[in-house]
Amino acid sequence: MTVLVATFTNTGSSIKVGSTVQVNGMTANDFSSPIAYTVTAADGSTVSYMVTVTTVPRSELVAEYLFSGNAADSSGKGHNGVVHNAIATLDRFGVPSRAYYFNNSYIDVSDPPGHLFNPNTSFSISAWLNLANDSALEYFPLIAQDEGLYSTNKWYFNYRTFDKSWNLINALSFHVNSPSMGGGVRINSDPIALQLNTWHHVALVRDGATFRFYVDSIAKGNVNSNVVIPEVNRPLTIGYAEVTEFLIGSADDVRVYDGALTAEEVSSLFHEDGWTGQ
């Protein structure tokens, strides 16, 4: 943070931070605090822009799957995944073997059993999804822990085109169930209609009694819920849930945090490595 070099394009005659002329891709600054960039136009008039750098703290990261040729957990917490027939594929930058394509395949993380994080206070899930074209599908599992079908212990984050009653919803959905919950709870984002064959960043943040959804860093719904997520005595799975539901498409950079990400931190994850959208 203390020696970061910015790249920028500009019109006008100069850009300064304080009295120091800034050179694109050259001048380093300390971004521990917001910095004012002052642009001077040809007529001598000036405009200042405050620039704030947000990084996502890794202290609350409990699992991180960058899929750089395997499903290793790079969080340092040792929750390594095992790949079951998922195929290494291009990531959003077009780099080979940096994401996984799923089609009746999955990754599971069996060590250790039980919660990787405390789901009943605050947690966050961040990932990239690229849904393949299959009009027959109504659900796209991203990540889950479940003991099976119906009213078994589970939490399950997915994208759904239809709800249980076959109403078109096109929403990110967080489903919780247990033997004592009957039909369970479905917490849905605003309608979002993810484009197929396109990388989208999706995020779910639980901040106490509020669930927040984001797509490509844009807020897509706040839902109040005090749902109690049960202990689930089954492995965490990526690309698969509830015995029969499989992701058809690619996923990448799946991260789970034991804390609530801010909107700025979600935006920082969306823009990671210079991504500006597809």
List interacting residues with Ca ion (CB under 5 A): 66-67, 91, 98, 252-253
- The helix/strand/coil state of 78 is coil
Task: Please report the DSSP string for 35-53 in residue order.
Answer: EEEEEE-TTS-EEEEEE--
3-class DSSP state of 243 = coil
Looking at the Cβ atoms of 67 and 246, the one nearer to Ca ion is: 67
Nearer Cβ to Ca ion (146/253): 253
Q: Which is nearer to Ca ion, 96 or 148 (by Cβ)?
A: 96
Q: How far is the CB of 130 from Ca ion (least distance, A)?
A: 12
In angstroms, the CA 111 to CA 122 distance is 22
| Cβ proximity to Ca ion, 96 vs 113, nearer residue | 96
CA distances from 89 to 40, 63, 122, 201, 250 (A): 46, 21, 32, 17, 8
Q: Helix, strand, coil proportions of the chain in percent (round to 5)?
A: 5, 45, 55
Give the separation between CA 153 and CA 186, rounded to whole angstroms: 14
Q: Whole-number minimum distance, CB 65 to Ca ion, in Å?
A: 8
Mapped onto helix, strand or coil, the DSSP state of residue 263 is: helix
- Closest to Ca ion by CB, 252 vs 265, is 252
DSSP labels for 150-178?
Answer: SSSSEEEEEEEEE-TT--EEEEEEEEEE-
β-pair partners for 4: 29
Residue 104 CB, shortest distance to Ca ion, in Å, is 22
Closer to Ca ion by Cβ: residue 162 or 275? 275
Whole-number Cα distances in Å, 248 to 75, 145, 146: 26, 19, 19
Least separation in angstroms between residue 68's CB and Ca ion is: 6
- Smaller CB separation from Ca ion, 96 or 179: 96
Least distance CB 271 / Ca ion (angstroms): 15
- Could you write out the DSSP letters of every residue in 12-27? SSEEEETTEEP-TTT-
Min CB(181)–Ca ion separation in Å:
35
Q: How far is the CB of 98 from Ca ion (least distance, A)?
A: 4
3 state SS of 66: coil
